[in-house]
Chains A and B, each alone.
Chain A
Amino acid sequence: MTRTVTDVICPFCGTLCDDLEVVVSDDEKDLLEVYNACAIGAEKFLHSQAKDRITRPRMRQEDGSWKEISYDEAIEYTARMLTDAKKPLMYGWSSTNCEAQAVGSEIGEIVGAIMDNTATVCHGTSLIAVQDIGIPSCTLGEVKNRADRILFWGCNPAHAHPRHMSRYSIFPRGFFTGKGHTGRKVIVVDPRPTDTASLADVHLQVEQGRDYELLDALRVAFKGEKLPDFVAGIPKEKIYEAAETLKSGRFAIIFFGMGVTQSLGKNHNIDEAIAVTRDLNEYTKAAIMPMRGHYNVTGSGQVWGWLFGFPYAVDLSRGFARYNPGETTANDLLRRDEVDAVFVLGSDPGAHFPFSSVKKIYDRPSVAIDPHETPTTEVCKVHVPVAFVGVEVGGCAYRMDNVPIETRKVVEPPEGMMTDEEFLGRVLARVKEIKGV
């Protein structure tokens, strides 16, 4: 016999879909089928069942091979590494629940760590911009029920947030958007004609890295002022047309992604995008929202926001919270040799940091907490496998619009496997013993 668990939350991207159905065996040990999820979400659930999954901690030996160790030994190594270090980096925190993030933050406070999350290579620059000029935002429910002008800037939800368009932004029929996609106008700004652009009414194929100019041109066009013939490779007629389309809506929403946060200009691009939203509010209702990547990167910003006052790049090494992106951010610290130990949980910097930073992790005492085998576990000294949050353990996560959603446990983790929160709790206890607090 099997059992179907309904209303399961998907722990992949910031869309945090909450309508999955998962078929599990009667003893709740095996996960058999996943319905309603996108290809990536389904794969995440199914991979938890992989027969070749690593289930015990392991330590790298001198000759490069792995040796299996006990959880107790892994806890001891981690606690010693963190307390011995002068300035450890505790990085990741986005693929785990808020409960684990809170325990990790307490460890960071005691050992004087620098805490950074994946926003540092994702929407960190957006957070800087928000601190610069604020953000007029809304929830995805409002988008679904009200928005009739959708602008995707430098993001490709068809690939990165596959169900975003069907659940919230383009296709759904909401309270005031009963015509679904026929009642909405969609604009995509991207240097490539992406699969998302193929669904748009207007695609502005901006020259890569010229987003700031084009955003600025939109503000000029809103006011009906004169534009040069081409801005960022786009003819001025198309810019005026896009500006009119946005102004004529009842509710406009701008979603933006890595195309603007990672291109040159960085936080200034987002400053300008927010200014576009602000200007647009002179004519109609407009909001803007970052397309957050990891399912709980928003949550780690929330947790640190209420614990330390800053959403990422928090330096606790002086006994109080300090924040200075460019100085206390993971890549800058690694490249400048300013940290002497690296702890990674819920992220894979080995795959997603520039290689010059990865090499620095390899050169230091390092621990990776991750259910998967990844390039990060490959360069770390100790790898601790844990249960999948949202599959084998529940906990709180924040959707990209800052709505907290409680994820659900659907199957049992492999026997004897710890969760992030349990492992961190044990490390915290040991750190307190060593430090005598």
Chain B
Amino acid sequence: MAIRVNLITGRTIQQGVSMEAGKEKPAYTAACGIIELDPADFKKLGAFRNTNVRVTSGYGNVVVKAVEATQGPHPGVAYIPMGPWANMVVNPNTYSTGMPTFKGTPVEVEVAKTEPVLGSLELVRKGCRGELA
């Protein structure tokens, strides 16, 4: 079953540290290839913590690991740290300001247990070559 949530993105300290340590490293994927969901939304989704999920918006989709919100509660709001995973689904429209709408993208989240979370380089490479599902 899929749930609908409002997606926001931004910095976390784990994102910052792992970014400086190298975006090609697994630690960066562990820090940013996630979606933070509120416990109430986990219940609606009917999934365990640390399950891979597919996040879909009107602009794209991406597989990330669903984890419990670290700075919650925020029912109805989901958080993917800034990075290539979030940017697969955020609203790219700038509405003539130059600024893509990184915060406030309606997304659908569904369980995708068997699908892998790709590393950052592989994700953009496959995306550019049209090799993503």
Contacts and interface: CB of A to CB of B under 8 A. Distances in A.
A191 B8 contact: yes
Given A208-B8, A358-B87, A258 B102 contact: yes
28 contacts: A40-B16, A40-B20, A47-B20, A124-B98, A128-B97, A160-B10, A191-B8, A194-B71, A195-B71, A197-B71, A208-B77, A209-B103, A258-B10, A259-B103, A262-B102, A266-B95, A313-B98, A326-B94, A326-B95, A329-B97, A332-B96, A350-B84, A351-B19, A352-B83, A357-B92, A363-B128, A372-B23, A373-B24
Given A354-B92, A379-B125, A120 B23 contact: no
B97 A326 contact: yes
A329 B96 CA distance: 9
Interface in A343-391: 348, 350-359, 362-363, 372-375, 378-379
A39 interface: yes
Contacts of B97: 124-125, 128, 266-267, 325-326, 329
A437 interface: no
A125 B120 CA distance: 28
Nearest to A375: B124
B127 A355 contact: yes
B11 interface: yes
Interface of A: 12, 38-40, 43-44, 47, 50, 120-121, 124-125, 128, 156, 158-160, 162, 191-195, 197, 205, 208-209, 258-259, 261-264, 266-267, 293, 313, 325-327, 329-332, 335, 348, 350-359, 362-363, 372-375, 378-379
A162 B23 CA distance: 20
A358 B124 contact: yes
Interface of B: 6, 8, 10-13, 15-17, 19-24, 59-60, 69, 71-74, 77, 79, 82-84, 87-88, 90-92, 94-104, 120-121, 123-125, 127-128
B87 A156 contact: no
Contacts, number: 186
A208 B75 CA distance: 11
A378 B124 contact: yes
B27 to A, nearest CB: 10
Given A39-B13, A354-B59, 5 more contacts: A40-B19, A192-B71, A192-B74, A358-B84, A358-B127
A362 B84 CA distance: 14
Nearest to A205: B74
A267 B96 CA distance: 11
A375 B23 contact: yes
A191 B92 contact: no
Contacts of A266: 95, 97, 99
Contacts of B91: 354
Nearest to B28: A351
A223 B6 CA distance: 34
A205 B75 CA distance: 12
Contacts of A356: 59-60, 92
